[in-house]
């Protein structure tokens, strides 16, 4: 049961200036005032379904299912679950890619929530520019509104050069023009939009253009994956928060000469693997991130 999990790293975002903050500003006129109540959702990232490597994760067939069981046992059901990319492990074989996506979709269909959101990672979409992904999961960039928050899903992976691209930037500009400068915005994407570690391919080539656009708005937070660890960073007033993976952990950026997968630790199974709850605290007008470790689930 999830209440038996060791809940750690309960991060009060306002303390690092990264809060998202929900109080009562005007969003899209007439559309988003309906429900400003508290809510929470779950972010799961980098599930890499189809990966095999006993030295890295001997339970590669089990971690996703374990996480889904954990979400289903949460005492309070989340409003939605979002997967921030690398749903599947990449493959050159288009048939295998589709098999993995079908298996992934079947497994996550057991989530006991009304709404599940997806976006691609480079493992899902870079080798075929998202053809297979779109067959199974639909659009690669889109928006949705939830209880006063405007969510923007950005695709920075289907172009194999890790670019958002001019067309999507135009689309982003057009979307942001429709909402007020103090609207609460959460951007969901796969790669970091800032240059976290370019030598490790932890960047988005035209991420600066995205950030420059987002900086015109006062309340923006970015949730992403890709780097297989919890990480927090500010660009101006925008907070960026990376989530853990469910398949393997990676070292802290720049901490070792070469980026390599962290081997499985038999003395501490599932170490570094997990997901997060994102809680909107309306009374305090801030979000809280609650990092949940897969190793603590019984």
Partner 1 sequence: MTRNLIALHATLLVVFAGAGLHQFAIQSWARETPNNEKTIRISASTFEFKPSEITLKKDVPVVFELTSQDRRHGFSLPDFHIRADVQPGNAEKLRFVPRKVGTFTVLCDVFCGDQHEEMTGTIRVVD
Locate 11 and state its tokens.
């991060």
Among 60, 63, 90, 204, binds partner 1 (CB under 8 A): 90
Locate 185 and state its tokens.
């915005």
Q: Contacts with partner 1 in 149-208 (CB under 8 A)?
A: 157, 160-162, 198-201, 205
Instruction: Kindly give the interhelix angle for 94-108 and 63-72, rounded to the nearest 10 degrees.
Output: 30
Whichever of 89 and 235 has its CB closer to partner 1, that residue is 89
**Distance of closest approach, residue 141 Cβ to partner 1, in angstroms:** 18
Which string of x and - marks every residue 214-253 that binds partner 1 (by CB under 8 A)?
----------------------------------------
Strand partners, 273: 245
User: Is 207 within 8 Å of 195 (Cβ atoms)?
Assistant: yes
Whichever of 103 and 182 has its CB closer to partner 1, that residue is 103
Q: What strands, in cross-sheet order, belong to the sheet with 81-84? A: 7-12, 286-293, 274-281, 39-44, 81-84, 116-119
**Distance of closest approach, residue 213 Cβ to partner 1, in angstroms:** 20
User: Is 56 within 8 Å of 17 (Cβ atoms)?
Assistant: no
Among 23, 61, 91, 282, binds partner 1 (CB under 8 A): 91
| Position 127 contacts partner 1 (CB under 8 A) | yes
**Distance of closest approach, residue 98 Cβ to partner 1, in angstroms:** 16
Cα(57)–Cα(63) distance, integer angstroms: 9
Instruction: Kindly give the interhelix angle for 207-214 and 166-177, rounded to the nearest 10 degrees.
Output: 10
Which string of x and - marks every residue 97-126 that binds partner 1 (by CB under 8 A)?
-------------------------xx--x
Positions touching partner 1 (CB under 8 A) are 89-92, 122-123, 126-127, 157, 160-162, 198-201, 205, 258-259
């Amino acid at each position: 049961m999830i209440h038996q999990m060791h809940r750690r790293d309960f991060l009060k975002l306002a303390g690092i200036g990264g809060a998202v903050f929900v109080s009562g500003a005007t969003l899209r006129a007439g559309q988003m005032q309906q429900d400003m109540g508290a809510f929470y959702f779950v972010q799961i990232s980098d599930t890499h379904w189809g990966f095999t490597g006993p030295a890295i994760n001997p339970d590669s067939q089990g971690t996703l299912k374990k996480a889904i069981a954990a979400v289903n046992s949460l005492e309070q059901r989340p409003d939605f679950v979002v997967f921030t990319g690398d749903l599947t492990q990449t493959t050159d074989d288009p048939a295998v890619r589709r098999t993995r996506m079908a298996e992934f979709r079947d497994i996550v269909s057991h989530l006991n929530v009304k709404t599940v959101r997806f976006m691609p990672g480079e493992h899902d979409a870079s080798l075929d520019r998202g053809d297979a992904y779109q067959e199974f999961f639909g659009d690669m960039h889109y928006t949705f509104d939830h209880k006063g928050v405007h969510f923007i899903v950005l695709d920075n992976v289907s172009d194999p050069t890790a670019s958002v691209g001019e067309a999507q930037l135009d689309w982003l500009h057009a979307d942001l023009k429709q909402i007020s400068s103090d609207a609460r915005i959460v951007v969901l994407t796969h790669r970091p939009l800032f240059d976290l570690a370019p030598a490790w391919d932890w960047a988005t080539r035209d991420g600066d253009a995205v950030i420059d656009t987002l900086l015109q708005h006062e309340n923006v937070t970015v949730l992403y994956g890709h780097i297989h660890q919890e990480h927090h960073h500010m660009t101006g007033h925008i907070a960026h928060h990376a989530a853990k993976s469910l398949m393997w952990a990676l070292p802290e950026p720049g901490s070792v000469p070469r980026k390599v997968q962290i081997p499985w630790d038999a003395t501490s199974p599932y170490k570094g693997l997990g997901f997060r709850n994102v809680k909107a605290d309306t009374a305090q007008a801030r979000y809280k991130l609650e990092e949940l470790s897969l190793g603590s689930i019984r």
